[in-house]
Structure formats: C-alpha cells, structure tokens
Chain A
Amino acid sequence: MSGRLVACAVGFLAFALAWAAPAAARGIVADVDDHLVEITTDFAGQDILVFGAIDGPGDVVLVMRGPAGRVAVHRKARFAGVWVNADSIEFDGVPSLYGVASSRPLFQILTPDVLDRYQLGVGRVQFQEVAAEVPGVGPFRTALVQQKKKQGLYADRVGRVTFIGDTLFRANLHLPSNVPTGTFLIDVYLVRDGRIVDAQNMPLVISKVGFGADIYKYANARSIAQRFVYGVAAVLVALLTGWLAHLAFRKR
C-alpha cells in the first residue's frame, strides 16, 4: 500500500465531500485502504488503514466488529480433586472480535447513555444468553469479555484516530495474529457536542488463503459428503506415506 496513493484518495474524498456536502448533507466519508485481509501461513497480525474526511470540526469514533456467533462459557470447579468444567452458559450474538478507536477518549466526547446505545467500549458490547432465565449469569458475561480481552480479540484502543488539519482523518486499526475470519463491519461515527450526528459503515473481509486455507475449507465443509472426502483423502495420504516409508527402508 503506498502512502501517496492513500493521501491522494483522502484528498479526493475531501474534495468530493466539499463538493457534494450541500446536496447529500454527508457529515462523514470514510474508506478502508484494502477491503480484503489475507491470512497466509506466516500471518503475524496486520494494521489496516481507515481514512476519511468530515465536513467541519468534530470527533471521530471507529468500531470494528467480527461476525457474531455462539459461545459457551464453562466454569471450572474442583470435583474429587480434579478441575472439571462444571456449569456452563451459552451466549449468542457474540462478536468474534471487537475494537474501538477514537480521536479522544470516549467518555470525554459522549455521554454514558449514548455509549450504551451504540455499544461503544468493550464493557458495553451486548450479547444474549441462549436459555431465557439463567441465574447468576453476571460472572459468566464478565468472564467472556475478560477472556476475549486476554486473547487480544476485544480491545478499547485498537488504534488512534488522528487528524490532518480540521477535516481529514486517518487511523491504523490493528488486527491480531489470531484474528478470526469472516466478514467484519467497521462503523464510523461523527461526534459533535456529545451527539452522534452522522455514521457510515463498511465491510472488511478477512479470509485464510493458500494450502492451509484449502485444508481448513474441506475439513470444515458444510456438507458431510465433503467432510467424508476429506477423511478419505487423509487416510490415502497416510497409506501412501506408510507405503513409501516401507519401500525406502526395506532390506537394510
């Protein structure tokens, strides 16, 4: 990715914004430098660049969310001297990754009400337990967020939004090496006087590529027939390796 190209694109966006502002009344325009992140066998995390322009003074907040899914949280307890998974609660709608970046600390620019409503900040991410009534769900929720933070998948400051002049901004969002795959969504908010006045979102696709990705794809195929083929292929590879080993080492 070349810096000059990005600068050029930012410049173009600013121009487009200035020109189109009266008609469309867009307060914020933004884009990602690359909408596809490829995880290869030597992937060790990556920064992605979000850039854009706003139509006057204000603050910018970026939120990055991975695809939502189901997660079970198990609590260990000692049973006959051995630690076992005792209780467990399932949650649905859990973002696989969650990260925020902002031009100033969130609590300085927005009220707790608004932060809650837009789920801004790791502590405000919402997800539901699958069973309707679960007593003592609190510690499980906290543990889920804590574990995700520990894994580096939930973070309040994944990057900083910096301004170039009053209207142009850019931010590097960090993706950790264990980033989950799927279609991510990045929300961009324009904040003025403690209110969110405009918003935009854009997709970001994160996918495994190469030989390892193909193995993963077949092993986790939706159709059981394809997984059968994968199993048979695994057996054939083993049969062949074993036979070749026999040929290589016999009569010695």
Chain B
Amino acid sequence: MLGALLDWLLSFQVYLPIAEISVSVMLLLGLGGGVGFLSGLFGVGGGFLMTPLLIFIGVPPPVAVATQANQTVATSVSGVLAHWSRDNVDFKMGTVLLSGGVFGSLVGVTIFSILRRYGQIDLVINLAYVVLLGSIGLMMLTESTRALRRARRIPGRAVPPRKLHQHVWVHGLPLKMRFKKSRLYISAIMPIGIGFVVGILSALLGVGGAFLIVPAMIYLVGMPTAIVVGTSLFQIIFVAAVTTILQSMENRTVDVLLAFVLTIGSVIGAQFGGRLGAKLPGEQLRFLLALLILLVAVGLCYELVATPDDLYVLQGLTR
C-alpha cells in the first residue's frame, strides 16, 4: 500500500532541459528538502552537499555546478532578508568582498571553460569536492568529538572567552578603509582577496563559500561574529548571480528548471531544519553531519579510483 503510493509519487518525471535527463520530481524535491533541512539545522549553505548529490543522480558535473550557483542565489536571498531584519549586515564590507568575488567568478568561469574544452572539468570538480568535503568533514569530526568529550566530562562549563580582534600584519596593508558597522579600520586588500577566492570556488564548485568566508573574516580580519553570516550571505547573492550569468553565457550549463525545483524543496526543508536545530543538542548533530559529509567524500573518491566500466568517453562538441 505504502509502496504503491511511493511508486505513484515517484512516477512524476520531469525532463531537465539542460541536464538532458529525466528525473522524478519527488526525488528532486526530496533532495532539495533534505539538503535544505540540513542547512537549516546546521546553519550551513548546503551547496557543498547538493552538488555531489546531483552528480550521484546523473546530472552532468558541469550542469550540477552551474545550476547550484543559480540555486544559491535563491537560498541566500531568503537568508539575507532574515539577517537584514535583525540589522546584521555590513553592506560596505559586503560590497568590498563582492568586488573581489565578481572578479574571482570571472576567472573561475574562464578556468571552467578551458578545463571543459580539454575534457578535464569532471575530474577537477570531483577532485576538488573530495578535497573540500574530506577536509571539512575531518575538521568537523575532530571538533565535534572533542566537544562531545568535553561536554561529558565537565557538564555546563562554557568555552573560555577568546580575544576577537587582534592586530596582525594583515591589517597593516595599504588601501585602508573604515567599516563602521564592523567597527574596523583595516586594509581592503584582505577582504578583496577572500572574496576573490570565494568567487573562484563559486564558479568551479557552485558553492556559496560561507564555510570559507565566515572563519576567514572572523579570524583573519577580526569581524564581529554576529555580522559575518549576514554579510557573507549578502555578498554571496551577487557573486552567485554573476556566476550564474557568466556560466549561462560561457558554458550554457545553467538548468533553470532544476534550480527552481530544488529551491522549492530546500526553502521548505530549511524551515523545518531551523526549528528542529534550535531544540536539538548541537555536538551530536555536528558529529552526524561530519559523518554524512565524509560519506559523500568517500563516494566521490571511489568513483575517481575505481576502474571504470569503459575506458573511452565521448564528448559532443559544439562549433
């Protein structure tokens, strides 16, 4: 009975015009919902999980990456509006970040199309994800195990306060600017540089890059933690938007239908995830997310290392 119902739901297929595959609508909504749920639960963007999952279900890696950039625009907008209403966005810092980000995206899309011409883009995307997910997963795993152990030994003890804003060589660089909201007077070179790297990642991997911006802005630049997330989301909208447009023009790999269906699933999932996340113990959840990320990394790694069924691959070329 339940199986029949599931079969019936899964029977709604949609032909994705750019990915050029036929997929169950329910599968896509479920995928969007699941990743959205996790991103609401853990407060992460989710792009770094969605892209590998799309590749697993048969979406060509270049389409998965470019479409993810498009979806990131939607999820970041709903995120930044929430932060804006709490006045947690430093627009000036965001603008400096995105000036680097737009340039990075331009460079990234160019690298993307060169790699594609040489037939190496799938490999680079897969390798980059193995490295990215592997390192994020391992870091989270060690961090959460430590936190779990600490919580067991001394219940209720707070983490010792850390000095937030230390002046290091980074702040002495030229091109100094005053950021009122972040209460900083620092060189603009560092945020531009961080934005640049994130722009490249956005083009090559489709991720928003919050996992990079947030720690970098806190530890390297010394920005107040409360403002970092909203500011990061603000700049991601623009970088992801520019990436989407550039990918459309250069590589023709943005599947607007796929992005739309995923967004619907993810915004709904994120609401439930966010509400549940407020109630559940953080350390155990982070531990589980770390395991999930490592699992995806191992899956991608296996595809790279295992002997392929066919040694030859065809690639249609457009003139």
Tally of contact residues, B, Cβ under 8 A: 56
Known contacts A71-B315, A72-B315, A231-B245; is A242 also within 8 Å of B256 by CB?
no
Q: Nearest Cβ in chain A — how far from B220, in angstroms?
A: 29
With a CB–CB cut-off of 8 A, which chain A residues contact B256? Answer: 215, 219, 230, 233-234, 237
Q: Give the residue among A146, A148, A228, A238 with the most B Cβ atoms within 10 A.
A: A238
Q: Is there an interface contact between B71 and A238, defined as CB atoms closer than 8 Å?
A: yes
Q: Is there an interface contact between A84 and B120, defined as CB atoms closer than 8 Å?
A: yes
With a CB–CB cut-off of 8 A, which chain A residues contact B316? Answer: 69-71, 96
B-side interface mostly? helix
A107 an interface residue at 8 Å Cβ cutoff? no
Q: Is there an interface contact between A74 and B119, defined as CB atoms closer than 8 Å?
A: yes
Q: Nearest Cβ in chain B — how far from A177, in angstroms?
A: 8
In the complex, residue of chain B having the shortest beta-carbon distance to the beta carbon of A43: B15
In the complex, residue of chain A having the shortest beta-carbon distance to the beta carbon of B254: A234
With a CB–CB cut-off of 8 A, which chain B residues contact A228? Answer: 245, 248-249
Known contacts A69-B316, A84-B120; is A243 also within 8 Å of B77 by CB?
yes
User: How big is chain A's contact interface, by range?
Assistant: 35 or more
A224 an interface residue at 8 Å Cβ cutoff? yes
B305 an interface residue at 8 Å Cβ cutoff? yes
Interface flags for B294-318 (1: CB within 8 Å of A; 0: not) read 0000000000111110111111111
With a CB–CB cut-off of 8 A, which chain A residues contact B315? Answer: 71-74
In the complex, what distance in Å separates the CA atom of A182 from the CA atom of B22? 20
Q: Is there an interface contact between A238 and B249, defined as CB atoms closer than 8 Å?
A: no
In the complex, what distance in Å separates the CA atom of A227 from the CA atom of B245? 8
A-side interface mostly? helix
B271 an interface residue at 8 Å Cβ cutoff? yes
Segment touching A, from B41-49, B183-191, B260-268: B260-268
Q: Is there an interface contact between A70 and B317, defined as CB atoms closer than 8 Å?
A: yes
Known contacts A73-B312, A227-B252; is A242 also within 8 Å of B77 by CB?
yes
Segment touching B, from A27-35, A75-83, A118-126: A75-83
A residues near B, CB below 8 A? 41-43, 69-77, 81-85, 88, 90, 96, 139-140, 143-144, 146-148, 150, 177, 208, 212-213, 215-216, 219-220, 224, 227-228, 230-235, 237-239, 241-243, 245-246, 248-250, 252
A/B interface sample: 19 pairs, CB < 8 A: A74-B312, A76-B308, A76-B313, A82-B123, A212-B16, A212-B17, A212-B257, A215-B18, A215-B257, A228-B248, A230-B256, A232-B245, A233-B256, A237-B256, A238-B74, A238-B77, A239-B73, A241-B267, A242-B76
B residues near A, CB below 8 A? 13-18, 22, 70-71, 73-78, 81-82, 85, 119-120, 123, 127, 237, 241, 244-249, 252, 254-257, 259-260, 263-264, 267, 271, 304-308, 310-319
